[in-house]
Structure 1
Amino acid sequence: MMFRCFVCKSSFVTVQMLIRHLKVFHAFYPGKKFQLMCDQTGCHQRFWTFSGFRKHLHNKHSAKSLDQFENEPVIVENEPVIVENEPVIVDVSDEPVVNLIPEQPENSQSCNETRQHTQEMCASLIANLQGCGVATNVITTVVENMEELVEELHSNVKDDVVKLLSNDEEIRTKFDDYFDNLENPFSKLNTEAKRKKHFSEKWGIVEPVEVALGVRYDTRRNRTTGTYDQVPITDKFVYIPLLQTLKFIFTNQEICDHFVQPCEKTGFYKDFCDGNYFRDHPLFSEKPNSLQIQIFYDDFEMANPLGSKHGIHKVGSIYFVLRNLSPKINSALMNIHLLALFHTEDVKKYGFDLILQPLVRDLKVLECTGIEVPFSDEPVYGTIAQVTGDNLGLHTLLGYVESFSANNFCHFCLVDKQTSQTVFRDDDPRITLRNKALHDQHCNDLMVDPTLPSTFGVKRQCLFNDLQYFHVSENYAVDIMHDILEGVGQFELKLLFAYLSDNKIISKTDVCN
């Protein structure tokens, strides 16, 4: 059988020789305008990858008759790639012929395990690229190039081995069959769908769920008529199921080994479990193995934050970490898990309750029923430990006023703006700390009189308050970056160093150093 080049009409004995000819003599390599055409017996199907072209030739044209090529010369002049050297003649007249490749090798199971291990190594390489945030089209290009590289290596090794063999047709045929059946480890990973299927079967994947928020009408150009029509668009957000994510996390034995038990009382504040809130918590104090879920919320810009599209494409994101793991483990990005992605503009239109509903539903199951984990014979329960974020994100998520020039701007207490200038301790009698009763009263006042924009800094009820073991008034997380590190901290240090220098406690040289 012969395979014809669609460019110069040359004919080749094998598919690999044709592909090598296309690469070397016609410089066909994957790119934006890369395209191959089949020119076998009038077939003009087009391909955008060498792997697809190769499969097509093997499946559709490998069994074609040679009659149609009898009158066509095989062009091999000036083509060093397809010229084959004369095989090495070995005199084996006095020696028995040895079957180099037995039909049923005894170590076939070991060979299969080796091939599977090789494919897993290739899959791990691709998974690492995806974990580093490499774009999907870049990964696909890399895999296609690696696939072609492996095919080229297989072909070169086959040619070199065949040249070392005798003229025994049976041995040559067995070697040909062996190399033809040798799978390319990247062939099962050369598309996004194949990679997704492989990762799902091998390691498992927690699939995101699209949740509809509502329908809006937007203007779209009709390609047929050329006019602009009003079409319905479904507003959606993506939710990654919490319970499935937790079960998937604990399939990792290393995570189970690093699951941290509550620390003992030491008198020092080193972690969340050292505070009175944790020690008096109705769930964490009664069930030491309970999952401490810390939620983080923030928005980020998809476009240039300084450009004209500022704010239009802003996306809100909710993440979580397990406080049961050590800070060293939680500092790795792989242990910061995504919960939800949504368009920030949808929050203004639909509110946060619709976005939080799937999460709160899973949290209620975790509080009441728990989940099965490998390191415990009994179900493990859990709830929200704290909700973190910047000041704007916390106030937006928890239902407080989002303007920090408001009269009641603090989510810890009910101090007004004027009094806050003279109050510096939380035990000051002018301070009234927020609690469940006061917060519920403020929310009820808003329900009685919907015209009120806010009451004592409260704008709305938060869906997290429906949980059994968490209430927004007991969320004691602060925005240390904006409040201290990028806020008042630098001014306080300036005043401190000025005082120390003026009183000759330290010199200006020490301050500079």
Structure 2
Amino acid sequence: MWKCKDCSAEVSRRSELLKHYRLKHSHFGRGHHIKCLYPECPCLLKTWNSLLTHLSRNHSNTPEHSDKFATFSCQLCGCSELGTEREYFVHISRHLKNNETVTCMFKGCDYKSNIYSTFKSHKSRKHSLHSLVDFKEDIVRGSFATETAEHDVSNAEELWGDEQPVDLETSNDHEDVVQLKLAAVLLKLENIFHVPSAAVDELLEEFQYLLGTASLCSAAKVIQDTLNSHSLQIDQSVIEELASALCTSNPVYKSVGKGCPLATSFKRKNFYKENFKVVEPVEYVLDEKNKRTFQYVPVLKVLQQLFSDCHVLAKVLDGSRITEQSGEEVIYRSFREGLFFKENSFLSAGELRVLLNLYIDDFEICNPLGTSRKKHKICAIYWTISNLPPACHSSLTSIYLALLCKSEDVKTYGYEKILEPLLSDLVTLESQGIFIAHLGEFVRGTIQCVIADNLGAHSISGFIESFSGEYFCRFCEAKRSDIQETEVSSGVFTLRSKETHEMHVSSAQSNAKPCHGVKRRCVFSAHLSHFSVCSGYPPDIAHDIFEGILPVELAYCLNILILKKILYT
């Protein structure tokens, strides 16, 4: 039996105790601390989400949460020495990888399959939350009436061993599975390895010949040899008909053959949209008369798709963990250890928050030295999830496109107009959040920072865009005349704050001229309640160091080495 620490109520399962806590003890406000469910654990949690995260990370293998009183028996081979549920599913996965047909082990379900990923997909969809009493009687034995086997998102996939194949199957038909797998391979060729669609079309044409005409003769010969080995005499026309039917019934041929769903580039795109979770860009019209438009990929829809993946959600939960530090020495392991994060009441509330980093930069799609220079320059906005572990931040698979617009349209119509759909999604994320099915609740979020070169950062944040003016820094109120004579590290220059920035914005708007380098209000801080212009635009190492300071310093070093005749030109 499980016993509530607050009111001594007794329930039979941990899930019932969680529900009891949710209904009875989660409404007392911020000052109330929720006690851990386990009697030997002294931890106190501030929020409901903190309790769930704590149970996931610290009590996923605790005896009260495990299946230590149960033993599992395999229906196929009769093995009955499987002491834990994980061992049982690892054992079942070996049967599936040997193409043995496995019947679903849960009560009331007669599903069968001999395909590993298909069976794994069925279990994830139909039996993601289960207890030991949900297994069929001949599978589980022992004293387990009050034990649950509910598995948290962060370790649910461990039941299937180390191998984690991509789950593409949504159908029990073998031909559909082959078709989806082949479509995934072609999609990877075109979008990850950047193989042109024309090259893929030519490759599939060769496959059509190899699987069709070229295979017909060999298939007829195999059939003829097999019949002869069994002393069977069949008319040649029947053999040819059998060979033709055998070739055309090949699932690969039925996927890439003429008129089939993956035969052409147009059909493949339609297939991807119908069968894969594709979030298509939306075209917004800036000026219908002059046909000025831009493309926006809905951020909320992409986030919804990402958090439907258990692996991504597990990494986000792990990356959102805050390590408690003892002693006076502070070790900065991530941005969560810094003052900006700790002083932000929205981010440091103890609940899971979705933190986004925006990247804004222009790129030239034509020859940067030719006559079309700047004519086709594109402004691009990308975003990443800051909750992911640091190793994922630089991975291309973790960087997502949000918006594409011509740079000249940004100057003509302004960031306020260009960013309107993005700002709408961000306001919704900050106020309402997105629903994460695996957690069963809405999770809110906001922008952590906007990263751009100095010109782009000043343009979007409302500072003057000329760096030869008197106030040219977005971090402090230093004047150009003073910074030439005084060291920045001397502490003489006043850093910008929220209060002084509001005063400068008000002065600039009322006098219609810049005040201390501020021209207007920041586009993001004007719409988002938890984004600050003073801390939201950090220096960009790519532009400031790698394209700024580093080349100059290297040039000085090389010049000195050449003068000293250590290096020769």
TM over 0.5: yes
Is residue 190 of structure 1 aligned with residue 253 of structure 2?
no
Q: Residue type of the partner of 1:263?
A: I
Equivalent-residue separation in structure 1 for 2:180 and 2:379 (angstroms):
35
CA contact (8 A) 1:212 1:236 kept: yes
Residue 433 of structure 1 is matched in structure 2 by 495
Equivalent-residue separation in structure 2 for 1:336 and 1:418 (angstroms):
41
Is residue 248 of structure 1 aligned with residue 305 of structure 2?
yes
Pick which of 278-287 and 193-202 moved more: 193-202
Equivalent-residue separation in structure 1 for 2:203 and 2:463 (angstroms):
48
Correspondent of 1:344 among 391, 394, 407: 407
Is residue 160 of structure 1 aligned with residue 221 of structure 2?
yes
SS of the residue 2:200 aligns to: helix
Which structure: larger Rg?
1
Give me the CA root mean square deviation.
3.2
Equivalent-residue separation in structure 2 for 1:308 and 1:325 (angstroms):
43
Equivalent-residue separation in structure 2 for 1:147 and 1:396 (angstroms):
54
Task: Give how far 1:469 is off.
Answer: 0.5
Correspondent of 2:481 among 410, 418, 424: 418
SS of the residue 2:375 aligns to: coil
How much identity, in percent, do the aligned residues show?
31
Residue 477 of structure 1 is matched in structure 2 by 538
- 1:126-185 deviations in whole A, cap 9, x for unaligned? 111222333333333333333333334442443323543432466664554444444513
Residue 321 of structure 2 is matched in structure 1 by 262
Residue 383 of structure 1 is matched in structure 2 by 446
Equivalent-residue separation in structure 1 for 2:321 and 2:213 (angstroms):
57
Equivalent-residue separation in structure 1 for 2:240 and 2:534 (angstroms):
79
Relative to structure 1, the CA distance from residue 177 to residue 491 in structure 2 (aligned partners, 3 Å threshold; closer, same or farther) is: closer
Task: Give how far 1:444 is off.
Answer: 2.8
CA contact (8 A) 1:292 1:384 kept: yes
CA contact (8 A) 1:269 1:275 kept: yes
Relative to structure 1, the CA distance from residue 167 to residue 250 in structure 2 (aligned partners, 3 Å threshold; closer, same or farther) is: same
Is residue 126 of structure 1 aligned with residue 199 of structure 2?
no
Task: Give how far 1:286 is off.
Answer: 0.4
Pick which of 463-472 and 477-486 moved more: 477-486
Q: Residue type of the partner of 2:376?
A: H
Task: Give how far 1:426 is off.
Answer: 5.9
CA contact (8 A) 1:262 1:288 kept: no
Alignment of 1:312-351 (within 5 A): 312-351=375-414
Residue 361 of structure 1 is matched in structure 2 by 424
CA contact (8 A) 1:242 1:362 kept: yes
Is residue 204 of structure 1 aligned with residue 204 of structure 2?
no
Q: Residue type of the partner of 2:499?
A: A
Residue 455 of structure 2 is matched in structure 1 by 392
- 1:477-505 deviations in whole A, cap 9, x for unaligned? 10223333443356668999999xxxxxx
SS of the residue 2:499 aligns to: helix
The TM-score normalised by the length of structure 2 is: 0.60
Residue 211 of structure 2 is matched in structure 1 by 150
Equivalent-residue separation in structure 2 for 1:338 and 1:425 (angstroms):
37
Relative to structure 1, the CA distance from residue 332 to residue 480 in structure 2 (aligned partners, 3 Å threshold; closer, same or farther) is: closer
Relative to structure 1, the CA distance from residue 175 to residue 139 in structure 2 (aligned partners, 3 Å threshold; closer, same or farther) is: closer
Aligned residues: 378
Equivalent-residue separation in structure 1 for 2:477 and 2:458 (angstroms):
14
SS of the residue 2:516 aligns to: coil
Is residue 448 of structure 1 aligned with residue 510 of structure 2?
yes
Equivalent-residue separation in structure 2 for 1:356 and 1:258 (angstroms):
29
Equivalent-residue separation in structure 1 for 2:495 and 2:247 (angstroms):
76
Correspondent of 1:311 among 368, 374, 398: 374
SS of the residue 1:372 aligns to: strand
Equivalent-residue separation in structure 2 for 1:110 and 1:489 (angstroms):
58
SS of the residue 2:212 aligns to: helix
The TM-score normalised by the length of structure 1 is: 0.66
Equivalent-residue separation in structure 1 for 2:283 and 2:396 (angstroms):
24
SS of the residue 2:401 aligns to: strand
Residue 116 of structure 1 is matched in structure 2 by 176
Gaps of 5+ in 2: 1-111, 116-171, 228-232
CA contact (8 A) 1:314 1:343 kept: yes
SS of the residue 2:369 aligns to: coil
Equivalent-residue separation in structure 1 for 2:459 and 2:204 (angstroms):
43
Task: Give how far 1:464 is off.
Answer: 0.4
